[in-house]
Amino acid sequence: MTFRSRLMFGLLTVLVVLAVAQSSFAQINIQLFNAPSSGEIQTNRNAQTADPGVSGAGILVSGALIANSALTTTTLRIAYPSPITSAPNAGPSSPSNLGIPSGGDAIRIEGASGLFASVATPVLNTTFSRVEITLPGFDTAANSLSGSFTLVGVRIDANGKTGAQTATASLNSSANNYVLTTPSITVINALSPGIANFAIGARSSNSTLGAATIFTNRTVPDPTGSLIMAEGFAGAFRTSAQLSNFGGGPVKNSTQIRLTFNAIPAGVTLSLDIKTRSGTGELLVPSSMVASFSASWPATSATTTTTVTASANTATISFLQASLATTDTVEVDYTVLTPLSTTAAVTTASTITCTATLVPIGDGVDNSDSTRLGLPREDQGYPTFAEADLGPITVVNIIPASTTMLLPYALVLPPYDTGLAVANTTADPFGSSGGGATSQSGNVVLTFYPTLSAGGAGTSFSLTTSSTVRPGAGLSSDGTIASGATWTVLLSQLLTAAGQTGNFVGYVFIQANFLNAHGTATISDFRTYSLAANVLVLPPPATISRTVGTESLGN
């Protein structure tokens, strides 16, 4: 064989080897790309798996041409870490009992081009929590195209999940000239509580109103209060448009917060007001957020006030504008509407409390019957949440209509005794129109704290006036101090009525079961020596804890 013949034979051999080598490698390289949701609420049954509010956001599938070749029809399978709770539009490749999702945000293919121009509606596999997409085959002709498409609208049940969430991809066959080089991809960066803080308080720009107070005589000394809800992360509170990746419109629900007011007595109404900037209907933090008590859809305007009662004790906040970049705090101010009715059921001390949860409550998948077992449920709209109430927090204290007084120093040490006078000043010259008191009678409870002669604290004891315990002068036959009356009594008489003997040196708490009680005391030997002893009027301990160290110094 000549050199030329040997060279041609060698080149032919190389070409054959190269051809065999090329045919052993896939001709389309499949890669997946995604802009994941930066954060989702950990109780969300319909958590988004791509940028919220971005039309067409989803997993981009890119097929890059390596070499012209025939392709075999192949199924790309993308499995998610929990049940998929959205669905494709009903079609020949979808179960007949899957409907079109509310708001139109279906699982779908967008932007199909080139090699993938014919990629159609994906199929939902509920058994394996995955979306299956048929990639085209060209059995009779070599493919020379690259292409791409985006899988949009996949939602998952995030309830019970923690941390970042990842989807995994696979092909049903590797002998098809497709090769997958992105076996997994992050779809959610983090899962966190939707509401991070729920408490009595106010936003940093406002002063807290605390909790409201109702007295058991149906007067309302402090009708206002305020509560706050801070979102768990930037973008947790979203509008219906931000909860959609569908450019044609929003989903049915915005993020919504349900406030439930527990144990509202009959005859009491609370007026709720989402704190707004005057005249704009916008919350101060941030100025782009508007919340509404109207849960209608589609919502077009903000209604920032509503009322709750014993028979209608819930209010729902819907977000009409929200920031995805700012951690927001919602403040709700509330007012006990006055005057209370004469039959308002507030004559017993109690509290009104409030809980908060994200709503609407849903289950994400339909388990109502065997024909729909595990299928996504669209009738509740997107999103829905697992119930997770925060609280309860006390929003209204219903406290006895009483006056708490303190006699810091009293003694019975013959010849010295302590005289005490308590006046019921709920009778006054001002009248209801002039801010006068509500007439009320009540008995008196005294609690004694003796000091031992050798030093240290003795054993406390108490005395309650009644029809059979009426020491001193001025008590009515039932043991009460009538409105406009004054009770006078010696400490020695009180000790006898309480079954105590001997001397006493110490202090005395005096609780008059009516408002506007005032007292005075005098230590005297009834001959030449008298010393006035202060009787202090204290803030109601039920509403202002004595641990804060603020007490009235007057009477």
Sites in the chain below the pLDDT cut of 50: 1-25, 91-100, 102, 276-290, 294-299, 552-555
- Chain mean position to CA 31: 40
| pLDDT of 24 | 40
| Owner of token pair 């308002």 | 344
Q: At 440, list the tokens.
A: 């009320």
The whole-number pLDDT of residue 316 equals 87
Locate 5 and state its tokens.
């013949």
pLDDT number for residue 278: 35
Domain chopping of the chain, boundaries:
3-192, 195-399, 403-548
Exposed, middle or buried: residue 498 (CB in 10 Å: 0-12, 13-18, 19+)? middle
* pLDDT at res. 217: 87
Model pLDDT for residues 237-277, shown as the tens digit of each residue: 988 888 888 876 677 788 889 999 999 999 999 999 887 43
- Environment class of 326 (CB within 10 Å of its CB; exposed 0-12, middle 13-18, buried 19+): middle
Looking at residue 301, its pLDDT comes to: 56
Count of beta carbons in the 10 Å neighbourhood of residue 306: 20
Q: Domain 3-192 has what CATH class?
A: mainly beta
Tokens for 82, please give them.
């929990």
Burial class (CB in 10 A: 0-12, 13-18, 19+), 205: exposed
**Buried-exposed string 268-293: b where 16+ CB fall within 10 A, e elsewhere:** bbbebebbbeeeebbbbbeeebbbbb
* The 3-state secondary structure of 139-187, one letter per residue: EEEEECCCEEEEEECCEECCCCCCCCEEEEEEECCCCCCEEECCCEEEE
pLDDT at 516: 93
